[in-house]
A and B are shown apart, each in its own frame.
Chain A
Amino acid sequence: MKEHAILHQLIKTFSKSEKRYFKLFASRGTNNGSDEAAIRLFDQFDKQELKDEQREMETQSAAFSETALRLNDLIMKSLHSFHEEKTPEPRIRAQLHYTELLLAKGLEKHARQQLKVARDIARKHELLEYMPAILELELAMADKDNREVQYKKAQLFYDEYCDALSRLEVQSLYAKLLKEVNLFAQRTPYQRSKKNDFADIDTFLAMHEVKAEQGPSSIRSQFFFNDIHVVAAYIKADYNTMYFYSSRLVRMAQEHPDVLQYETEKYVSILSRHASASALMRLPHELLETARLLRAINTTDERQKVKIFVNAMSAEFNTCVLQRDPDLIRKSLQQLEEGYETFHRRLDSTYAFLLPAQGAMWAFVMGDMHKALHWSEIALSTGSMHDREDIMLPLRITQIQSLYELGDFEKLRQKTRALYRYLMGKTAHYRIEKALVEHIRSLARSTAANKEKQFFTGLRDSIAAALTESPDDRRFFGGYTDLVAWIDSKVLGAAPLLPLLNEEEDPAPKKPARKTARKKS
């Protein structure tokens, strides 16, 4: 990406207060003209005054490059100054610099006070990475003590230093293990449960560090440890264990907010995992509460805002699956409408497909066929999501249903053919898929006057049988709409709106496993 494009993107992420601060910062920085030119350029970028051609021409000039360079420097400095006090890490770094500056001025008492602030912040947020720098400055300040005191301080310094290093080492080990287990999870998504081949993850779980509860020596390490087990349990589809560890993580986050909540990324990850576990354990209230906690997170981090949006949306849609509450569905669809507009450019390919796909299915359920078509078009335009066949087929069916409801038979035929092609392209089929292939084929061949009725009747029976007899089919296709009820409505001529919501009582939520802490090995 060209430098000016990066600059432009960066300016576009500025909040109002950041822009205001930048103007103040740049206007009072120096008195020469270059800053004014930089401010002008900032305004142009901000207002998108620079058209592509103009930008192309301007970027040729040396003056533009120079101003852009100066603007970049000013932007970074103003952002640095604006945000420095807002998070613990830069605050510690600033405190370390204050300490060095005061020491350089011979103000040792002052320097000690500033260093103590740095140490307090590092301790509060368990930022072990900064302990070596803090301890070395403390030792350097011991120079004025008598040598016996220096001797003792040196011993204390070394003991604390080694302790911090060993805890950091353990932390890095668990960070690495978490990364590895996350990669295991990504390697064979959705297929693994069919194969039930867990040899690699079992070997991983048998490792001493992963088994031993006393291994992690800091809160962060404990976070990594529990998170590793959440992911491993998810891979093995052991949802009881997954829920056990994710609940433990949420509890830890509440007990140590200064360590696990201040770092938004970790907290979002904890809540997202717990939302997944709650969904898999069919615990709607916990899901909704987790979604609420996610939406309550206040952050300026654009990446985290996206994560919060997708995870909260997923939790809310999953609650819709469990509760079938029309108010909740309406609210969730509204949230999707608002959030998708803001975040759709930054969504990763999975969520760029999943969220509109879910939106399409729920909009159909709510009888908003136009919205259902709108969301399904968006979802299908994101490209093929081969690994999410659990969503792909229901989405295509929803599209067909919507077109049927709207009476757009021309498009309906096109989409039915497309569905047929899609199903024929697959190497393995669920029973419902097989039924669909057969019934679409016979529908095409049929010349009977009531061929549609025959099609629906036959399809209904096949799907009902598949859902009853095949757990895999039930798992993949039983989530969003009650296809059987919809077909019944077509055969009987009933209005297919809210009654289509699956009103059958949800099976009682499984009781979460009450695991006791594993025996210390």
Chain B
Amino acid sequence: MKNNDDLFQLIKTLNKEEKQFFRLYASRVSTKGDSNYVRLFNAIDKQEEYDEKAIRKQFVGQSIEKFLASSKHELYGVILKSLHAKTEEESPEAKLRMLLHYAEVLAVKGHEEQARNTVNEARQLAETHELLTYLPEILHLEFSYMPGDDKEQQLKRAGAFYDEHQQVMRKLENRALYERLDKQVRFLTQNLAYGHSNNKDAISSFLEKPEIADERHPLTVMARYYFHHIRALCAFNLRNFEETYNQSKLVFELSQQHAPILQHDAARYISLLHHYSNACSVTGRMEEMKEVCRRIRQVQTNDERLKARAFQYSTNAEFNIYLAEANFDAVEKLAQRVEDELPQYRQHMERVFVLIICGQTAYSWFLLEQHNKALKWLNEALNLVQVNHRDDITLMLRLLEVLLHFELGNHDLVDYRLKALIRYISPRADRFKTEAIFIQGIRKITTANSREQLHQILRNVKAAIDNETGGDAYEKQMKAHLNLNIWLNGKLSGVPMRELRKQNEAETKKRVAE
């Protein structure tokens, strides 16, 4: 058994339509009709797990069996070609490449005028979608198919070709520079982003670079996209959330003004919407965030990875919105939807988002007092390989685990997990002060013999936290996340956490209205 077989993997990613098209396409390649390609394809397609022995057995004595390795290799190529033929007009890049070949074929056949028209069509496509990477090739073809009658005109065209070529080179270089900076700024900010470092000097000096400081530096829409995106990322890491929002909004507006450039690449569009949604989240613009989520879910794509990405970003954002708004009906529906849809997207989701969404689902069921469901999702999250630089998520999950076992009355497990948690937080106590105080405060929670003793422990913890954080700021920050204060208040007052969250939210709205 070898489920990592490339051909098997490829066949298993094909949808019905693609399979149907392949069968038609393969019959074109072979004049014999039901070609060996189709037969081998069907045999592999029927398998749940790849079993080469079964394939050999099925085609024993036939050429497929004799030359199985080469047959598989050829079939892999034919499948790719069929996918290529099927989707060639679906994306501007693929269509542009097809037009370039049409032009070459027409020129070879001696139809230079038609070739020129086709190159012109390709150029328009490249300009509409700012597909600069193909312009050198387009210019080269235009130059080759230049009409050869009027020599003065030819001389002018040669000059114009070189001038435009130079401009394209400048733009390409400028864009590549921003692509490089975009990748590099992520490295510079990764330690700051999740509190691993407070050294903001690297980002400050990065922001002083002329290409980042000067708005006139980017030469294309794509370069401007990177420019604002980089600045948003830097602002976020410098905890300047208003600037993060401003820059992210500029990116969003750019994507609306230049839809053919910034929306045709669904990956980029989803990513910029996600960053905009985060910026709305950190500045408390929930209505705007809802609109962004709606846009993320609306993105049309056949790309399985992008579907997964749209799911992870929109689900994460919606959890944040509904939890912050204390809209528990929506939270429940969303948690239910995650149960249904996560398995479908999980394979292509980023590990950190699988972790976050499992954690958010667990926390949602915890708030809804469906502790068994919460435990199932929590175990799901804790069984995943944790993401090193996101120890904030790991800590939240482990804290939730302690509280959940406490609610379920698993006191032995509470003690055991608390000891482990104390060991985990000790080296991180500076970064997670509230959590460290909370953990220290409840370490003897299972020793309380009476309700009064328990309340005393909880009151002490609450006082210590308020003393450290000043209460309100913490409340604001923890609206959508595991809120230890609410849990403490709930335990002390006997009111369910979700009710307290609703009351808090109602009071906040009233205060804002006043």
A-side interface residues toward B, CB under 8 Å? 1, 6, 9-10, 13, 24-25, 28-29, 76-77, 79-81, 83-84, 87, 89-90, 93-94, 96-98, 100-107, 109-110, 114, 128-130, 132-133, 135-136, 139-140, 142, 147-148, 150-151, 153-155, 157-158, 161-162, 165-166, 168-169, 172-173, 175-176, 179-180, 183, 186-187, 265, 300-304, 346
Contact = CB atoms under 8 A, between A and B. Distances in A.
A488 B182 CA distance: 86
A161 B173 contact: yes
B97 A96 contact: yes
A132 B114 CA distance: 27
Interface in B140-159: 140, 143-144, 151, 154-155, 158-159
Contacts of B136: 128-129, 132, 168, 172
A87 B101 CA distance: 10
B109 A24 contact: no
A80 B105 contact: yes
Contacts of B306: 104
Contacts of B88: 97
Contacts of A96: 93, 97
Contacts of A140: 267
What class of interface size applies to chain B in its complex with A?
35 or more
Contact of B183 (A25, A104, A153): A153
A304 B110 CA distance: 9
Nearest to A109: B6
A172 B101 contact: no
B98 interface: yes
Given A132-B133, A151-B183, A100 B94 contact: yes
Contact of B109 (A10, A101, A132, A133): A10
A6 B114 contact: yes
A148 B191 CA distance: 11
A287 B140 CA distance: 31
Interface in B113-142: 113-114, 132-134, 136-137, 139-140
A100 B190 contact: no
Contacts of A180: 155, 158
Contacts of B112: 303
Contact of B101 (A83, A110, A186): A83
A106 B155 contact: no
A158 B177 contact: yes
A94 B94 CA distance: 8
Interface string B149-188: 0010011001101100110010011001101111110110
Contacts of A29: 24, 28
A76 B13 CA distance: 29
B88 to A, nearest CB: 7
Interface string B462-503: 000000000000000000000000000000000000000000
B155 A154 contact: no
Contacts of B144: 265
Nearest to A21: B28
Nearest to B29: A24
Given A129-B136, A165-B172, A302-B108, A175 B102 contact: no
B199 to A, nearest CB: 16
**What secondary structure prevails in chain A residues at the interface with B?**
helix
12 contacts: A13-B109, A80-B105, A90-B101, A101-B87, A103-B303, A105-B305, A107-B13, A109-B6, A110-B9, A176-B158, A179-B154, A186-B151
A187 B13 CA distance: 61
Given A10-B109, A165-B172, A151 B133 contact: no
A80 B103 CA distance: 10
Given A136-B179, A154-B183, A106 B169 contact: no
Contacts of B298: none
A392 to B, nearest CB: 22
Given A104-B303, A107-B9, A179 B158 contact: yes
A10 to B, nearest CB: 6
Nearest to A137: B133
Given A90-B101, A157-B180, A169 B165 contact: yes
B91 interface: yes
A132 B28 contact: no
A183 B155 contact: yes
B104 interface: yes
Contact of B162 (A94, A107, A155, A173): A173
User: What 10 A-B pairs are tightest by C-beta distance, nearest first?
Assistant: A154-B183, A104-B303, A93-B97, A151-B187, A158-B180, A132-B133, A176-B162, A172-B165, A179-B158, A105-B13
Given A9-B111, A176-B161, A183-B151, A161 B84 contact: no
A303 B145 CA distance: 12
Given A93-B97, A101-B84, A157 B176 contact: yes
